């Protein structure tokens, strides 16, 4: 596989998953990714552990600068979920990480989709993206480019988010992943060589051009530029 690489498996994610289960109020305190119907992540619920400082965006209504800033700050949920720390910093150690970016816990319900998109902007080009699987059952499908993986609970994957990707949760249970952005020592130099496209209203993703591979479950994505 070229778009996915399993970094680890058998990780003890239960302490964090249990803590999340016990604190449902943490979900969707920040809805930048999930509140716009055209967003690829409209069906997702989020817990932000680390993200860009949105103070300026809140004050001015202009979130465009977020695309160009690499700095993430801790959000209150990170302190309330200390069980995430050994997973995140263990991953940092394993991959030679030298800077920690965004960390999000994201939940997709049964039957839910994350529609096809490419992660764009300088943040996505600067950081490597990893998924720590906190909970998943058979049928939770993750496509990047022409490859599909069914990630299992306790596994950690790197994946190439410059490839068009999508998710279909065809299982009967929630898909819960901890997404971690890490700047690695071997990362390429700065600069975004990714596919050009259209910035969506959430300011975080670009829509790609045409592609020729089969989509998950025959899903027909929205027309280019319609977001």
Q: Which is nearer to Fe ion, 46 or 119 (CB)?
A: 119
Binding range to Fe ion, per CB under 5 A, among 115-123, 152-160, 181-189, 219-227: 115-123
Query: Minimum CB separation from Fe ion for residue 171, in Å?
Result: 20
What minimum distance in Å lies between the beta carbon of 155 and Fe ion?
A: 18
CA distances from 87 to 6, 11, 103, 127, 154 (A): 15, 8, 11, 18, 10
Residue with smaller CB distance to Fe ion, 117 or 135? 117
Q: Rounded to the nearest whole angstrom, what is the least distance from the CB of residue 167 to Fe ion in the complex?
A: 9
Q: Is 198 helix (H, G, I), strand (E, B) or coil?
A: strand
Q: Which is nearer to Fe ion, 155 or 164 (CB)?
A: 164
Distance CA 227, CA 34 (A): 14
Is the separation of the CB atoms in 207 and 134 below 8 Å?
Answer: no
Which residue shows structure tokens 């803590």?
19
Q: How far is the CB of 205 from Fe ion (least distance, A)?
A: 6
> Minimum distance between the CB of residue 121 and Fe ion, rounded to whole angstroms?
11
Question: How far is it, in rounded angstroms, from Cα 79 to Cα 61?
Answer: 27
* Alpha-carbon distances of 207 from 73, 131, 187, 213, 217, rounded to whole Å: 27, 21, 24, 16, 20
Instruction: Identify which range of 65-73, 116-124, 134-142, 214-222 contacts Fe ion by CB under 5 A.
Output: 116-124
Stretch that binds Fe ion, among 51-59, 112-120, 130-138, 181-189 (CB under 5 A): 112-120
Q: Name the minimum Å distance from CB 53 to Fe ion.
A: 21
Sketch the per residue contact string, 117 through 136, with Fe ion: x for CB under 5 A, - otherwise.
--x-----------------
**Token pair 């490839």: residue:** 163
# binding residues, Fe ion (CB under 5 A):
1
Residue 14 phi/psi, 5-degree rounding, is -65, -40
Q: Which residue is nearest to Fe ion (CB)?
A: 119
Closer residue to Fe ion, CB minimum distance, 82 or 141: 141
Contact between 34 and 42 under an 8 Å Cβ cutoff? The reply is yes
Could you list the residues that contact Fe ion (CB under 5 A)?
119
């Amino acid at each position: 596989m070229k778009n996915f690489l399993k970094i680890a498996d058998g990780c003890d994610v239960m302490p964090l998953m249990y803590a999340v289960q016990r604190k449902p109020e943490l979900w969707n305190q920040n809805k930048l990714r999930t509140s716009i119907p055209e967003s690829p992540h409209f069906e997702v619920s989020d817990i932000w552990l680390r993200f860009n400082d949105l103070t300026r965006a809140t004050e001015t209504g202009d979130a465009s600068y977020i695309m160009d800033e690499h700095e993430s700050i801790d959000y209150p949920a990170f302190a309330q979920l200390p069980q995430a720390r050994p997973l995140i910093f263990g991953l940092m150690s394993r991959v030679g990480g030298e800077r920690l970016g965004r960390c999000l816990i994201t939940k997709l319900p049964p039957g839910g989709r994350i529609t096809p998109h490419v992660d764009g902007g300088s943040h996505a080009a600067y950081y490597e993206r990893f998924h720590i699987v906190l909970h998943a059952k058979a049928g939770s499908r993750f496509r990047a480019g022409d490859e599909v993986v069914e990630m299992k609970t306790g596994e950690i994957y790197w994946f190439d988010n410059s490839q068009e990707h999508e998710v279909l949760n065809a299982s009967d249970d929630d898909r819960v992943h901890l997404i971690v952005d890490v700047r690695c020592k071997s990362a390429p130099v700065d600069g975004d060589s990714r596919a050009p496209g259209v910035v969506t209203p959430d300011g975080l993703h670009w829509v790609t051009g045409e592609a020729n591979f089969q989509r998950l479950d025959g899903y027909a994505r929205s027309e280019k530029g319609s977001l």
